[in-house]
Structure 1
Amino acid sequence: MKNLQEATERICELKGSLVALDTLVPALIDALPAPVRARLQGSFDTHAEVARTLMLPADISDLVLSSFERDVARIATSLRRVATAAQSGPVEALLLTTAAITTFARYRSLTRASGFFFRRDARLFLVSNRHVFADAASGHQPEHLEVVVHTDVQDLSRATVLGLPLFRDGLPLWREASDQAGPVDVAVLEIAPGQLPANAVLQAFEASDLQAGDEDIAIGDALTIVGFPMGFHDTVHHLAVARSASLASAYGIRFQRQGCFLTDARTHRGSSGAPVLRRRRQHDAGSGMPWQLIGVHSTRMDMHPRDEAQDESLGLNLAWYADVLNTLTADR
């Protein structure tokens, strides 16, 4: 009985020590300069993956592994929330989620498009349309793509070009999805920690950004599409532009039985892959960005045939529901 009592007391002491460490870590993070915080986030993800690799083949209980994953996710979330304000610097964090995409066949530039970053636990993905990565119907077959990533939170004119291959050993590196209606025009390309520069400055949407919470979404609601129409953007600071939009079809209903909905907005080529966003009516300043990611812009809609002399373009666009990202970024 005495040994049991001593063990219980020791466990309580350890719990108290862990609580103290949990209090100390956020304080240390908060005291770090902004560039160091950004590097710490990437370094933590890398070291967590190394630890995960070492533990999986070891003789360790499932309870230890699940506790490790839970605490890694908790710490990573804390790091990202602290980094949101630090990394955004003089600009709204939303603009650091988007990236201009240029596709290439060898050294020849093919197309320009929009994309954005999405994080699932410790893994980072570039999201865009499936037809940006490859489109057999139009003969679009790039071999790699490039995205621009900021490298200085205080001087947004400083950036680097990140090259990402689309194939390895002849097999595509991106992930795509389909449903009962056919292919979904959304794809993700994973970015390994080693592919990003140590001083990369970016923001990423997360699974929580897909949720509406207690708010209703109704037809006619105001939306925002952030991207690079016709490649246009702030070329000095490497920032996307935002176009106003509205919800043009019943949200939650699969338009024409496909996993998409309509927006009413003026869009152009180059906007493919842009995030479609709704500003939350209620938002806690400490809980990340005040935006819900509801879709991925794909293409303009029009009537064919249309008398161009008498009828204007519909001005409608197709966007795919963003919850497909839960499927595309799941562990495999």
Structure 2
Amino acid sequence: MGWTTVPSDSQNSLEEVLLATTHIRTYWGSQHLTNASGFFFQRDARLFLVTSSHVLQDQLTRHLPDRIEIELHTSAHDLSRIAIFSIPLFSQGAELWTRASDTAGSVDIAAIEIAVDRLPEQTLLRAFNVSNLDAGSEDVAIGDDLTVVGFPLGFHDTVHYLAVARSASIASAYGVRFQRQGYFLTDARTHRGSSGSPVLRRRRAAHSARSLDAWQLLGVHSTRMDMRTRDVIEDESLGLNCAWYTDVLLLLTA
């Protein structure tokens, strides 16, 4: 039992970021509640699933699942072969996921550790790590192109169980907490179900285009941003979104 990285003979045919992203279904008992997105993050020998906090619990909307299910690939040669993996959210009433807050309040990112010894045999996945958080010598600035990889409205390749990517750009001063919150803005077309998607910037330095090393993990997509004063007839939606800074993953996975 355990998980493996992508075999060398499959690296040329599949972008690794698609094996680092997974579809999440939330449940209360046997009742399916919502769809969402998430991604894998590795810290030393530990493996985590990262998503938005509100996917796992949202008191405001009374969204209170007790478990989630994710889809895991089990063959490098046949991507239609998957296993459904159930992850409990509580043990004896205690939350099994970690979340964080800062001076402005709650941060909408959660991480839950995956028991690697429970993974199905031949589980095939990739995981971001601390190196993906580092921009290296490259500048990150407003207007930079981004990619949001996830499952909008639960939509994905239901034969091969792979996410889809939406184009985006940085829409606020990167590195500045927008309105003192722990996020920056992106300009992208997003939908329900995208919550928890990794917000990525392709590195300009030389990397294998299909390797996970080619991506910097800038944020976690949370929600669409709008104005309560917008005239819903006269004015289109802003098309802006909140992406929470991923440096908090160092705390959540410590």
TM above 0.5, yes or no, is yes
2-structure distance, mates of 1:274, 1:250: 21
| 8 A contact 1:276–1:293 mirrored in 2 | yes
Amino acid at match of 1:245: A
Cα deviations across residues 84-122 of structure 1 (Å, max 9, x unaligned)? 645646311110000000000000000100000000000
Could you tell me which residue of structure 2 aligns to residue 205 of structure 1?
128
Q: Which has the higher helix share?
A: 1
| 8 A contact 1:113–1:271 mirrored in 2 | yes
Could you tell me which residue of structure 2 aligns to residue 7 of structure 1?
none
SS in 1 for 2:18: helix
Q: Which has the higher strand share?
A: 2
1-structure distance, mates of 2:10, 2:106: 36
Answer with 1 or 2: which has the greater Rg: 1
Q: Does residue 147 in structure 1 map to residue 70 in structure 2?
A: yes
Cα deviations across residues 159-212 of structure 1 (Å, max 9, x unaligned)? 010000000001000000000000000000100112211210000000000000
Total equivalences in the alignment: 253
2-structure distance, mates of 1:288, 1:235: 23
Shift in Å, 1:253: 0.4
* 1:50-69 → structure 2 map (5 Å cutoff): none
Shift in Å, 1:218: 0.9
- Whose RCO is larger (CA < 8 A, sep 6+)? 2
| 8 A contact 1:89–1:154 mirrored in 2 | no
Could you tell me which residue of structure 2 aligns to residue 281 of structure 1?
204
Residue among 54, 61, 71 paired with 1:138? 61
Could you tell me which residue of structure 1 aligns to residue 231 of structure 2?
307
2-structure distance, mates of 1:89, 1:164: 31
Could you tell me which residue of structure 1 aligns to residue 253 of structure 2?
329
| TM-score normalised per structure 1 | 0.74
Shift in Å, 1:146: 0.1
Cα deviations across residues 274-329 of structure 1 (Å, max 9, x unaligned)? 00000000034498520000000000000103211110000000000011101100
2-structure distance, mates of 1:284, 1:234: 26
1-structure distance, mates of 2:7, 2:60: 40
Could you tell me which residue of structure 2 aligns to residue 164 of structure 1?
87
Could you tell me which residue of structure 2 aligns to residue 236 of structure 1?
159
Change in CA separation of 1:282 and 1:84 when aligned onto 2, cut-off 3 Å:
farther
Cα deviations across residues 106-151 of structure 1 (Å, max 9, x unaligned)? 0000010000000000000000000000111110000100000000
| 8 A contact 1:101–1:148 mirrored in 2 | yes
* 1:1-332 → structure 2 map (5 Å cutoff): 42=2, 83=6, 85-86=8-9, 88=11, 90-285=13-208, 288-330=212-254
| 8 A contact 1:279–1:290 mirrored in 2 | yes
2-structure distance, mates of 1:164, 1:94: 22
Amino acid at match of 1:132: V
Could you tell me which residue of structure 2 aligns to residue 18 of structure 1?
none
Amino acid at match of 1:323: D
Identity percentage over the alignment? 59
